[in-house]
Amino acid sequence: MKKLGLGIIGLGGIAERLIPTFLKHLRTDLKGGFDVDVERMAKMKARFDMEMVTDVDALINDKDIDMIYLAVPPRHHHAIAIKTMRAGKHILCEKPLAATLKEAMEMYEVAVETQVVHAMNFPLYYGFPYHRIKQLLEANALGTLKRVELSALYPAWPRPWQQNYWIDSREDGGFVREVFTHFIQLIQSSFGPIENIQSLVEYPEDQSKSETGLIGVGELANGAKVLFNGVTDVNQLGNIKLTVLGSEGSVTLENWRKLVVKTGEQTFITAGELKPGKGGDATYDLIHAFYEAIDGKESSLVTFEDGLQATKVVEKLLGNY
């Protein structure tokens, strides 16, 4: 079994969470990493016994590296991703695809041009909730789709575990880009494009900071409305909830793991890891799908095209086009 050489650009908290899952896969050969934070590189080198390089190009141009996992802040995705793809490397990119719609479109165009395997880190797509929703839709168990609602409450933003220089920046941070993007991708993969978007965005006085509130509405092809509601700095427990309402049933996904399905007179509650059951968890299955695509096998990937479509909705909600 041929292993695939992996290089990681950006060694922050998200990468630290994904590396152990990469290493669970027998095909992974972790070749090296890079981060602008020298202390961070030293910490990750000690934890994972991985080689570190002094610049991005050293990874991108390494002939033993087949693919790059790009986990830098969104403002840096565009330049590094394009350089990576033009070097013939496959790429798994963090979300959102880019900090602007223009950059996202250019990244997608280069992905198509270079024909490398390109994927997004959207684990919800590989988890039990998405698979269950898909089953319900295929069985027409929800009836006619009436409404989709996405809501989020945050006592503070950034969240305590995610403190960095960009996560609350207006340039590429905020809960709409960081969190809503996941659910927008899930909604569009389930129901098609969200169109006719209107929104009201609340910002703090500091013009460098990200949104503190958002109310928005979009529309699906059948006319069903998609409602968006998010607010930070409230005296509530943090909560993110997606609800799908149909004429015959409903589905609610709360805090990523609790799935409540109501059909007829019956209600089913599932809580736990987002596991469809194949590789042990959703992220593992995402990585496995990425590797299968590199091998030329038929594979279910969330691609840069999906990332672009999600970015369109995000940036429209934020009033950026």
Both tokens of 69, joined, read: 């996992």
Identify whether the C-beta of residue 161 lies closer than 8 Å to the C-beta of residue 267: no
Q: If you search the block for the tokens 């659910």, which residue do you land on?
A: 183
In a domain, 171, yes or no: yes
CA 36, 113, 85 angle in degrees (round to 5)? Answer: 20
In a domain, 95, yes or no: yes
CA–CA gap between residue 45 and residue 35 (Å, rounded)? 11
Q: What is the pLDDT of residues 183-193, one digit of tens each?
A: 999 999 999 99
What residues make up the domain containing 191? 128-273
In a domain, 306, yes or no: no
Q: pLDDT value at position 277?
A: 44
pTM for the model stands at: 0.94
Q: What is the CATH number of the domain that holds 219?
A: 3.30.360.10
CA–CA gap between residue 144 and residue 42 (Å, rounded)? 54
CA–CA gap between residue 98 and residue 78 (Å, rounded)? 6
Torsion sign across C-alpha atoms 290, 293, 299, 304: positive
Q: If you search the block for the tokens 């930070």, which residue do you land on?
A: 232
* Whole-number percent of the chain with pLDDT over 90: 88
Q: At what angle do helices 128-138 and 181-191 cross, to 10 degrees?
A: 20
Q: pLDDT value at position 270?
A: 72
In a domain, 145, yes or no: yes
Q: pLDDT value at position 292?
A: 96
The total domain count for the chain is: 2
Q: What is the pLDDT of residues 239-267, one digit of tens each?
A: 999 999 999 999 999 999 889 999 987 78
Pair (220, 148) in one structural domain:
yes
In a domain, 311, yes or no: no
Pair (159, 228) in one structural domain:
yes
CA–CA gap between residue 124 and residue 233 (Å, rounded)? 26
Q: What is the pLDDT of residues 29-59, one digit of tens each?
A: 999 999 999 999 999 999 999 999 999 999 9
Q: Tell me, what amino acid is at 289?
A: A
